[in-house]
């Protein structure tokens, strides 16, 4: 298993002084780090319809970006281009391993593992990201510049490329295999490949209020909640017909606030919303479905592995009822299953012992079997 080495500071120091605050280079964060997927296999993935990918290069000094799937890479030549593939942790169990050393950040904050393969001189240009990213250097070397927070003008260098104006560097480094560059949201940065190279970016995306409110609106519509109409019985006689007076304004705000104050509704929304993936999962349904008994027996023999990128969460507010949220859905197994639900969400590999209490509950076993047959979890052999 990959182990993160922070030679110059402790994890606590990193969280207190760098996380969400300032960029830092972690030299040899991974000892003897080698590519978790080959450039060839990465290029192959970007030929698949369900995989999100982009190829960025310059033509006559103009930035160009093409969206995958790609059929061939021959026309791009040997220099000056980068292939970026999203959510590779969904498609490669080896790449999914790279999420584990970052388990000091909860899963609900994780976005995905994005990988870029670049030929010499290749890069995606100077830009600003909205997420925290750990850029782990694989094979080859890349030159990275990171600027400070500030009023950086952004512009579309191409319809699919949001760039930022040139910036002064506060970090100017060459990354070698095993080095990690951590960049919080908002810091402009640019990487240029010094030779053929691979970067593995573990991204953590925080939601904006706009994201959350639009997600909440979708949730209440979908679940047909929040339908009670605003009530203003015993209203005093209105003096100014065009006015929304202070008292009415309070009623309107209170109506919305009542939704936010409903902890069960909000826990169910947060769990469902945050457990949905934005990219496709590699769900491989079993050709010959297993019976519930077979799943339980197999669990005694080998671990049950979670498919890369599948998001399983619980919220303190509802977990006491044995509730968890998986891929946007709410599952309710009852209070006796609390421990099993926690184990299901906290572990990538499940054993019979970990799920013990849940396996005594027929509904838990039925649902687990359904998940295994649909490919959410799988036995290696």
Residue ranges binding ligand SIN (CB under 6 A): 82, 116, 123-124, 129, 133, 135, 189, 191, 199, 201
- The residue (of 202 and 326) whose beta carbon lies closer to ligand SIN is 202
Q: List the structure tokens of 13.
A: 């120091």
116-155 residues near Co ion, rule: CB under 5 A: 129
- The residue (of 112 and 268) whose beta carbon lies closer to ligand SIN is 112
CB of 192 to ligand SIN, least distance (A): 9
- The residue (of 129 and 179) whose beta carbon lies closer to Co ion is 129
Query: From ligand SIN, Co ion, none, which one binds at residue 137 (CB under 5 to 8 Å depending on kind)?
Result: none
Name the helix (H) or strand (E) containing 181.
strand 180-183
Q: Is there a contact between 46 and 88 (Cβ–Cβ < 8 Å)? A: no
* Residue 111 touches Co ion, criterion: CB under 5 A: no
Q: How far is CA 113 from CA 40, 84, 279, 339, in A?
A: 17, 11, 11, 29
Query: From Co ion, ligand SIN, none, which one binds at residue 124 (CB under 5 to 8 Å depending on kind)?
Result: ligand SIN
CA 51 to chain centre: 15
CA 34 to CA 225: how far, in whole Å? 50
Query: From Co ion, ligand SIN, none, which one binds at residue 199 (CB under 5 to 8 Å depending on kind)?
Result: ligand SIN
CB of 59 to ligand SIN, least distance (A): 18
Q: Is there a contact between 86 and 51 (Cβ–Cβ < 8 Å)? A: yes
In degrees to the nearest 10, what's the CA dihedral of 335, 336, 341, 347? 140
Q: Is there a contact between 86 and 62 (Cβ–Cβ < 8 Å)? A: no
- The residue (of 133 and 313) whose beta carbon lies closer to ligand SIN is 133
Rg (CA), the chain: 24
Q: Which residues have CB under 8 Å from 165's CB, separation 6+?
A: 126, 152, 153, 154, 155
CB of 203 to Co ion, least distance (A): 9
CB of 114 to ligand SIN, least distance (A): 7
Shortest-Cβ-distance residue relative to ligand SIN: 116
Shortest-Cβ-distance residue relative to Co ion: 129
Query: From ligand SIN, Co ion, none, which one binds at residue 358 (CB under 5 to 8 Å depending on kind)?
Result: none
CB of 34 to ligand SIN, least distance (A): 17
Where on the chain is the footprint of Co ion (CB under 5 A)?
Answer: 129
């Amino acid at each position: 298993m990959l182990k993160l080495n922070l030679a110059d500071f402790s994890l606590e120091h990193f969280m207190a002084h760098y996380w969400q605050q300032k960029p830092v280079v972690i030299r040899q964060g991974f000892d003897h780090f080698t590519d978790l997927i080959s450039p060839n296999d990465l290029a192959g993935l970007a030929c698949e319809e369900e995989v999100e990918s982009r190829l960025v290069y310059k033509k006559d000094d103009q930035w160009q970006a093409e969206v995958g799937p790609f059929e061939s890479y021959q026309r791009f030549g040997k220099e000056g281009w980068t292939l970026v593939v999203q959510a590779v942790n969904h498609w490669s169990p080896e790449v999914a391993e790279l999420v584990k050393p970052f388990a000091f950040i909860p899963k609900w904050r994780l976005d995905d593992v994005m990988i870029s393969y670049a030929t010499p001189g290749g890069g995606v240009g100077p830009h600003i990201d909205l997420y925290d990213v750990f850029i782990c250097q694989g094979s080859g070397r890349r030159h990275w510049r990171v600027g400070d927070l500030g009023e950086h003008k952004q512009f579309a260098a191409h319809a699919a490329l949001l760039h930022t104006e040139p910036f002064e560097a506060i970090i100017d480094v060459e990354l070698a295999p095993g080095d990690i560059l951590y960049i919080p949201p908002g810091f402009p940065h640019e990487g240029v490949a010094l030779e053929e190279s691979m970067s593995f970016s573990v991204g953590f995306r925080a939601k904006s209020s706009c994201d959350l409110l639009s997600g909440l609106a979708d949730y209440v519509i979908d679940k047909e909640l929040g339908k009670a109409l605003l009530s203003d019985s015993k209203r005093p006689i209105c003096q100014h017909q065009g006015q929304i007076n202070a008292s009415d304004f309070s009623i309107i705000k209170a109506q919305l606030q009542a939704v936010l104050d409903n902890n069960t509704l909000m826990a169910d929304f947060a769990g469902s919303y945050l457990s949905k993936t934005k990219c496709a999962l590699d769900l491989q349904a079993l050709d010959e479905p297993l019976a519930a008994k077979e799943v339980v027996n197999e669990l005694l023999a080998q671990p049950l592995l979670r498919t890369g990128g599948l998001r399983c969460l619980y919220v303190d507010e509802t977990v006491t009822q044995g509730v968890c949220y998986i891929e946007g859905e709410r599952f309710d197994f009852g209070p006796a299953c609390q421990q099993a639900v926690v184990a299901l969400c906290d572990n990538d590999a499940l054993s019979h012992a970990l799920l013990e209490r849940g396996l005594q509950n027929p509904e838990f076993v039925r649902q687990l079997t359904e998940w295994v047959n649909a490919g959410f979890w799988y036995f290696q052999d």
